[in-house]
Structure 1
Amino acid sequence: MMQSNQEPNHYRNGNAGVPAYTNGGGGGGGALVPVGNGMDPSPAPMAGNEGAGQVDPKALLNAFRRRWFLAVTVGLFCGGSAAAAVYLLVPPNYVASSIIYIDATPGSVLQDNSSFSSDFDTFKRTQMFRALSRVVLDTALNEPVRNQTLKKYGFKTIGDLPLLKGQTFEIDWLEARLSASGRDEEFFAIKMEYSEKPEELAEIVNAITQVYYRDIANETKLNDKKRITKLVELSVDYEQQTKKKLDEIAKLGRRLGITNEEELSLDIAADNAFTRQLQDQWFNHTILRNKLRLETQITEKIGDSLEENPDIQADLIDTLIERDPKMVDLSIKADAIEATIRRYEETLKDTENNSVLKSARREQKTTQEAIAKYREELRPVIEQKIRESGNAPNPGDLPAEEQIARLDVILEQLKEELDNRKIQKTQIVTDSFELQQLQKEAAKLEARTDEIDNKIDELKIELDAPDRINVAQWAEVPRIKDWESLYKKSAMAGLGVFGLFVAAIVWFEFQAKRIDTLGDVTGGLNLRIMGALPQMPRWASQKSSKAKKTAKSAFWHSVLTESIDAARTVLIRDANVESTRLVMVGSAISGEGKTTLSCHLAASLARVGRNTLLVDCDFRKSNVHRVFGVEEHPGLSEVLLGTASLEEAIKSPSDDGPDVLPAGQFNSQLLAALAQDGLGKIFEELKKKYEFVVVDSSPVLPVTDSLMVAQHVDAVILSIRRDVSRRPKVAATRDRLAMLGVPVLGAVVIGLDGETSGYRSGYGGYGYGSRYGYGYQYNRSPEPTPSQS
């Protein structure tokens, strides 16, 4: 027995000196070419987790290739059944439809919309949605019935129709059967489908169309009418405010005694001229009186002239400035503005935002600045007048005291007259300022009223513009059911179910993760390839002598022989380097070609003169004895149980072929014997007699027999068949063997040579009888279809 927990050097280090082989390029050649150096076969991640979340299009295509016939057959049957069910069970519908026309450019009387630019498609889709909105449908239920035939049965509104009367949720029922679809660029149709009552269908569609056209389609004009109503109300309100302002203006005019602003200006100008005359007289008399008074009161302290008394002179100058006519006008204006501001502040609540009050305050500031500026300009002028009048002769020959007394009387009268004039002028200026403000407000109101009236006129004119949306065709009572739509529904149902079943079958096959390419083995499973066997065509494995004699059959058997010889070459190389002479050929599950490989490998070793024994350890389903045409009993089972010797169990079917140790009879005692060390001793004895011992085992995953056998061999070769082997199961097999410390030399793949040689692939088996003349053909599969090549 040879059991080692240490892997051979080539297993651990990749064995760069021992190449793996596959069939060379070209469809006719049978030679094997290297596909890569030995690789580190350390356990790789489970293949079942490879590419999680990713879908390989090539793998999907291969899944379809493997199951296309089943998928198409089931899909056609189920799809045809679905189409037939829809055609037979779904009744054809009547279709009632109205057509709506939408002008690409809005109609207008005053404006030229020929260059109007807007997203018409968005506008059209919006209208199609609004045409079937719940608001429209709810309103349509209350529309009166217009069809005379339906009226005769006493139906007054759309909601009374039998088609809707029996529905619990009428609007939901309508939404499920109504649709709006665009026909041409400027048209769309409102449709309703149902299998009965065509008169009611047309009536419902027309009611919906009517509501949409009346309430929504031309809402621009409806909105314009509402705007006109609001603008008229606003215009009337402004007219009333204007009238009120004009009445106040007339009242102020009567109080001022004028009828217009021109008369007011003339009246103020005349009053100013008369006041100026009075002020000139008062000015002259004041200067004369002061001069006389000063001359009578001359003392040594005061001086000889008016210029020598600066305090009296300053008071006189200030008095004369305040009596100046223009200064009086400015003062009166300032007082009037201040009175107006005070009145507004007492009456208005919002004193910060009132426009009239803001204007008055600005005018007050401007007037105050004008008064200050004029006072500075007037002061040197008055001083000059005082100096000039100081040298004038005294008037008359009356004594100075009497002259002063007369002048005082005159000045008093002039002062009283000027004071009265000032009071009157202050009232006039105040009223005139208020009059100006009222006139400004009235002018603004009149301008707004005119603007509103112009807008009203424009909107009234636009009401005569053509509608942008119109009903091109009202719905008519349908007479023929829509069979074409039923055909389409049936076809869609059939195609949908067909596609669903095809996709489901292909998807389940894809999830099986069957091995399709060499990359699945070298990359996905991290196994080196010892050889690649072509998939033999069905006719090449026929038993008939006619098939044997053909050149094509001879060619395919030659290709198979050379492919097996390549794997043999790698095995012999490993035996020379690592003393690997007891080799088990295994697989993850049945049907992966392990018996095929073991039989061919043993025959190839014997053909080159190697003393070889083929041991059948597939106790539950033995086939080696049938392939080589030997008796099944006694076999390895009997040797293990001690009922037969090795010499009795080993058969030699031919001189140039391998010796065969059949499996023998399987029973429950055999499993207990396998668990003992008897098998290891048998293998040690066989290794002494033979150069190579090739063991055909049972599948690794279904039963434990192969694992118990594997513990006593030097190494294991895995058989992998395209479209049969599955990556997760092969990976599980590799991992189980690794846990037992059994080295895996690599894999021999069957049917995966298409990437290098272009050989045809499929499920075809190998005819051992036709090759060796044993009269038995093992595990023949159906002839491959063209899609599997």
Structure 2
Amino acid sequence: MEQNFNQLPAEVNPQGRELAVSRRAGGFRELQTYKKQPDIINRSIRPTDFVFALRRRWVLSMVLGFFFTTVVILIAYLAIPVEYNAKVMLRFAEDRQYILFKLPSEKHYLNDRNAQATLIRSNIVLGPALQMPGISKLKCLRDEPDKVHWLATHLTVGYTGSEILQISISGEDRDELVKILTAVRDSYMKEIVQVERDLETQKRNNLERAYNHLGKMKQRKEIQYQNLADRLGVSDSKNAMYSNRFAQENLAHWRQQRDMNLARINGLTMEIKKRSAFLEAMAPEEQGATREERENLRIQQRANLIRSLTVQALNENPTIKELRMQYENIQALLERERSVAMDPNHPNIKRLEQALEECNAQIAAVTKRLTPEIAKLVQAKIDNEEVPMSRAEKLAETIESLKIELAVYQAEYESCEKSYQAELAKAKTSGETTELQSLRSELDRMDSMYNRMGTQLDEWKVEAQAGPRVETITEPEAPRHNNQAIKYQTMAFLGLMTFVGTIIAVSGFDFLGRRVNSSDELSYGLGIHVMGDLPLISRGVHRNRVNQSIQGLLMESIDNIRTALLHRAEADNMKAVLLTSSLEKEGKTTVSSQLAASLARTGRRVILVDVDLRRPSSHRMFDRPLNPGLAEYLRKKVSLDEVITTTRVENLWIIPAGTPHPDAIIALAQGDMEEPMRLLREQFDFIIVDSGPVLTDADVLVMGRLCDGVILSVLRDVSRIPLVYEACERIRMVDIPLIGTVLNGVSFGKYRPYYSSYSIEVSTKGKSKARRR
């Protein structure tokens, strides 16, 4: 199936609606939705894109790469000094050294590696190191305003193993480096390591003083305990402890009982006062009423109760409930009829009113009939029950019961108070026993602490002979080798990275232009038909002597394009074709002149019209004068026949652009070429129109409406894919048929295997001799 390359592939939106550009229908242009841009316009860079960009910019990449590489290497050579590196190694034991007893490990700052590195570069160590004889006067430190900061910056402290600490420094003088490292090492051992030893010694001395003091206190307490035990007549504190414990338990028991009774007495007293106040505030008929009055009140309450229960029973009767429901329904119907009927004496209203009266009479009759029976049943039920007491009687009865309970608790409280006082007297006599027990407990704690302190002192005295935690492994010595090899390696690495980075940067910047690399990007990426491609002819080739393979390749390529054009022209009855490009200098004039010459070689009468009135160049391709031309014709200076010029190619005529003039451009934009184009169609078989760029010249689309189709010229490595896509969209917006594109600047290597066996020599008179090798 033949593919239609005259339009971009239709995109489909999420609702399945096509977003392709619509055609003309009935002379009007349909409303169309926006199309999604092809993926090739916004896709990310690929390895092939990098290769294409490097092919275009390899000269610039190499020049900039060598330049920046040279600059970076020179900077590195001047910035990286040739230095020696001196170092000293110390061994740090992870745990405290011990001989027999492993003392508990404390979280000391010597256990923290980061803390050691910070301390070595701090003023605590570096200050005393700089004060050692001759250190501050060394050549590397002599002119430094802040010697401590300089030394801390140049010192490197790190661990090369689990227990190995390395201190190093770099500089140009090997002997000075050794002196500096020796001073730093000695200062660290004195200010940090020795201070830790002094702190441990001070801690041991403090413990020994506390141990002696505790022994003296313990001796005094023992004498006091023995004197008190002799006075009480007991051998030890256990017997005294048992008797004292029993007395204390009895005392606590009676104290608890006394307090509980007291709390109950207080609560009952407050409750009696509150209820008495309520009784005084009651109604006079209830407060001081006689027994006869209270009996009459009960009879009245009984009658009211019978009446209320009878009414309640009547309301629950099923017959009465059904009649009342009928009454409500009839009443609702009556209200609705009254709201609808205009006459209040309407028969329906009268009928509903009568039914309502009958239902009411039935309810009254049933109620009258059932009331005596229900009243007898309620009275019989109440007669079997006792008449309830009044509120005042209930409240008075409650107050009397509370007073009886209060009297009981008061008696219990007095009994508990007597027992408590008796046990309190016994407890006072056992106070000395309690003191004896307290002294015993204190002596036991002092014995435990005294023994622990003695054991710790004995262990410390033994472990004081153990080795130090920090010791020197290697003494500082003058280094034999410098960093010259590393310097050159660094320079080479930086140079290589700079060179590669420059190439990547230039290629990446070129990729941002989205230039056309091959015909596949036009046909498969943008969906535009590629009619053919033209080889890249070097500007350095001599005009009078060219290789036959190049000439043959050019003729074969343009003839292929001509064949495709003729096939399309016969199918669509085309006679006028417009050649344009997205921007200037993209090969449209070369394509138009070569295509016109190729059509003329077929025996057809062909005319080339240069309508690029801003940058005319077609006349130079055939060595013809610029004027008179189309600009003079549009300004009414000459006739059409006067601007038609012959060329050295048989059957080919040309209309030059003429001298650029604003009036000619305005006339072209106003459509003054419609009549000349009609006349040219009558005189010639084919009209090739060389126009300006479609994205910059507004008159291109006007001229395109007078032609049968448009061919877009694309120059490889120059034309940009987004601009080519925009140019195609502008052409389609005015419904000009886009025949296809021609790709210029294709590498000759693509065709070299086939055309490498031919050569041609061209004379200055235009005659050629062909010979076969």
Give the TM-score, by structure 2 length: 0.58
Q: 1:483 to 1:586 in 2, by over 3 A?
A: same
Q: 1:539 to 1:739 in 2, by over 3 A?
A: closer
Q: Quick one: which of 744, 750, 753 aligns to 1:759?
A: 750
Q: Give the letter for the 1:582 counterpart.
A: A
Secondary structure of 2:55's counterpart equals helix
In structure 2, the residue matched to 1:573 is: 568
Q: Quick one: which of 588, 592, 595 aligns to 1:594?
A: 588
Is 2:610 aligned against 1:616?
Answer: yes
In structure 1, the residue matched to 2:327 is: none
- Distance in 2, Cα, partners of 1:708 & 1:541: 38
- Distance in 1, Cα, partners of 2:10 & 2:38: 24
Q: 1:615 to 1:55 in 2, by over 3 A?
A: same
In structure 2, the residue matched to 1:442 is: 443
In structure 2, the residue matched to 1:137 is: 122
Deviation at 1:76, TM superposition (A): 1.1
Q: Quick one: which of 648, 673, 679 aligns to 2:673?
A: 679
Q: Quick one: which of 543, 564, 586 aligns to 2:561?
A: 564
Is 2:246 aligned against 1:334?
Answer: yes
Q: 1:105 to 1:61 in 2, by over 3 A?
A: farther
Q: Does the Cα contact within 8 Å between 1:136 and 1:211 map onto a contact in 2?
A: no
* Structure 1 segments unaligned to the other structure (5+ residues): 1-8, 17-37, 117-122, 269-328, 343-421, 762-767, 777-789
CA deviations on 1:304-355 (whole Å, 9 max, x unpaired) are xxxxxxxxxxxxxxxxxxxxxxxxx98765226778999xxxxxxxxxxxxx
Q: Sequence identity, in percent?
A: 24
CA deviations on 1:709-739 (whole Å, 9 max, x unpaired) are 4454444332222221123433454455566
- Distance in 2, Cα, partners of 1:462 & 1:566: 107
In structure 2, the residue matched to 1:507 is: 508
Q: 1:506 to 1:453 in 2, by over 3 A?
A: farther
CA deviations on 1:427-450 (whole Å, 9 max, x unpaired) are 997655554454344334433443
Q: Does the Cα contact within 8 Å between 2:175 and 2:478 map onto a contact in 1?
A: yes
Q: Give the letter for the 1:99 counterpart.
A: V
Deviation at 1:682, TM superposition (A): 1.9
Question: Mean Cα displacement is larger for which, 220-229 or 77-86?
Answer: 220-229
Q: Give the letter for the 1:254 counterpart.
A: D
In structure 2, the residue matched to 1:663 is: 657
Is 2:226 aligned against 1:250?
Answer: yes
In structure 2, the residue matched to 1:28 is: none
The correspondence of residues 283-362 of structure 1 with structure 2, limited to 5 A, is 333-335=245-247
Deviation at 1:689, TM superposition (A): 3.0
In structure 1, the residue matched to 2:401 is: none
In structure 1, the residue matched to 2:169 is: 192
Q: 1:136 to 1:13 in 2, by over 3 A?
A: closer
Q: Does the Cα contact within 8 Å between 2:634 and 2:667 map onto a contact in 1?
A: yes
Q: Give the letter for the 1:509 counterpart.
A: D
Deviation at 1:698, TM superposition (A): 2.7
Deviation at 1:645, TM superposition (A): 3.9
Secondary structure of 1:143's counterpart equals helix
Number of paired residues?
568
Q: Give the letter for the 1:69 counterpart.
A: V
CA deviations on 1:76-122 (whole Å, 9 max, x unpaired) are 123213322443x4473543522324569657436999xx9xxxxxx
Secondary structure of 2:57's counterpart equals helix
Q: 1:59 to 1:540 in 2, by over 3 A?
A: same
The correspondence of residues 187-586 of structure 1 with structure 2, limited to 5 A, is 189-194=166-171, 200-213=176-189, 228=204, 235=211, 239=215, 242-243=218-219, 245-257=221-233, 333-335=245-247, 431=432, 434-455=435-456, 466=467, 470-476=471-477, 482-488=483-489, 490-491=491-492, 494-495=495-496, 497-499=498-500, 501-517=502-518, 520-521=521-522, 526-533=526-533, 535-536=535-536, 547-548=547-548, 556-557=553-554, 560-561=557-558, 563-565=560-562, 567-568=564-565, 572-573=567-568, 576-577=571-572, 580-586=574-580
- Distance in 2, Cα, partners of 1:443 & 1:55: 86
- Distance in 1, Cα, partners of 2:166 & 2:580: 70
- Distance in 1, Cα, partners of 2:519 & 2:119: 62
Deviation at 1:201, TM superposition (A): 4.4
- Distance in 1, Cα, partners of 2:213 & 2:574: 114
Q: Quick one: which of 639, 643, 647 aligns to 2:633?
A: 639
- Distance in 2, Cα, partners of 1:586 & 1:675: 16
Secondary structure of 2:447's counterpart equals helix
Q: Give the letter for the 2:121 counterpart.
A: V
In structure 2, the residue matched to 1:179 is: 156
Q: Quick one: which of 98, 102, 120 aligns to 1:109?
A: 98
Secondary structure of 2:53's counterpart equals helix
CA deviations on 1:461-507 (whole Å, 9 max, x unpaired) are 56655556544334446688643454355445544544554344333
Q: 1:630 to 1:130 in 2, by over 3 A?
A: same
Deviation at 1:575, TM superposition (A): 6.6
- Distance in 2, Cα, partners of 1:111 & 1:662: 113
Q: Does the Cα contact within 8 Å between 1:145 and 1:203 map onto a contact in 2?
A: no
Q: Give the letter for the 1:80 counterpart.
A: T
CA deviations on 1:270-317 (whole Å, 9 max, x unpaired) are xxxxxxxxxxxxxxxxxxxxxxxxxxxxxxxxxxxxxxxxxxxxxxxx
In structure 2, the residue matched to 1:399 is: none
- Distance in 2, Cα, partners of 1:425 & 1:490: 100
Q: 1:529 to 1:166 in 2, by over 3 A?
A: same
Q: Does the Cα contact within 8 Å between 2:545 and 2:760 map onto a contact in 1?
A: no
Is 2:49 aligned against 1:64?
Answer: no
- Distance in 1, Cα, partners of 2:731 & 2:515: 21
Which of the pair has the greater relative contact order for Cα pairs under 8 Å at 6+ separation? 1
Q: Does the Cα contact within 8 Å between 2:97 and 2:468 map onto a contact in 1?
A: no
- Distance in 2, Cα, partners of 1:760 & 1:180: 67
- Distance in 2, Cα, partners of 1:664 & 1:494: 56
Q: Give the letter for the 2:571 counterpart.
A: N
In structure 2, the residue matched to 1:77 is: 67
Q: Give the letter for the 1:601 counterpart.
A: L
- Distance in 2, Cα, partners of 1:260 & 1:654: 146
In structure 2, the residue matched to 1:722 is: 716
Secondary structure of 1:506's counterpart equals helix
Give the TM-score, by structure 1 length: 0.57
Q: 1:339 to 1:494 in 2, by over 3 A?
A: same
Q: Does the Cα contact within 8 Å between 1:336 and 1:429 map onto a contact in 2?
A: no
Secondary structure of 2:515's counterpart equals coil
Deviation at 1:139, TM superposition (A): 2.0
Secondary structure of 2:687's counterpart equals strand
Secondary structure of 1:618's counterpart equals coil
Q: Give the letter for the 1:564 counterpart.
A: I
Deviation at 1:745, TM superposition (A): 4.3
Q: Does the Cα contact within 8 Å between 2:120 and 2:126 map onto a contact in 1?
A: no
- Distance in 1, Cα, partners of 2:193 & 2:529: 75
- Distance in 1, Cα, partners of 2:221 & 2:651: 132
Question: Mean Cα displacement is larger for which, 177-186 or 245-254?
Answer: 177-186
The correspondence of residues 37-56 of structure 1 with structure 2, limited to 5 A, is 51=42, 56=46
Alpha-carbon RMSD: 5.4
- Distance in 1, Cα, partners of 2:610 & 2:536: 24
Q: Give the letter for the 1:78 counterpart.
A: F
Question: Mean Cα displacement is larger for which, 508-517 or 174-183?
Answer: 174-183
CA deviations on 1:593-650 (whole Å, 9 max, x unpaired) are 2223323433454455655432223345444344345555443334334444444433
Q: Does the Cα contact within 8 Å between 2:669 and 2:699 map onto a contact in 1?
A: no
CA deviations on 1:207-240 (whole Å, 9 max, x unpaired) are 4444445556799878766765665566567656
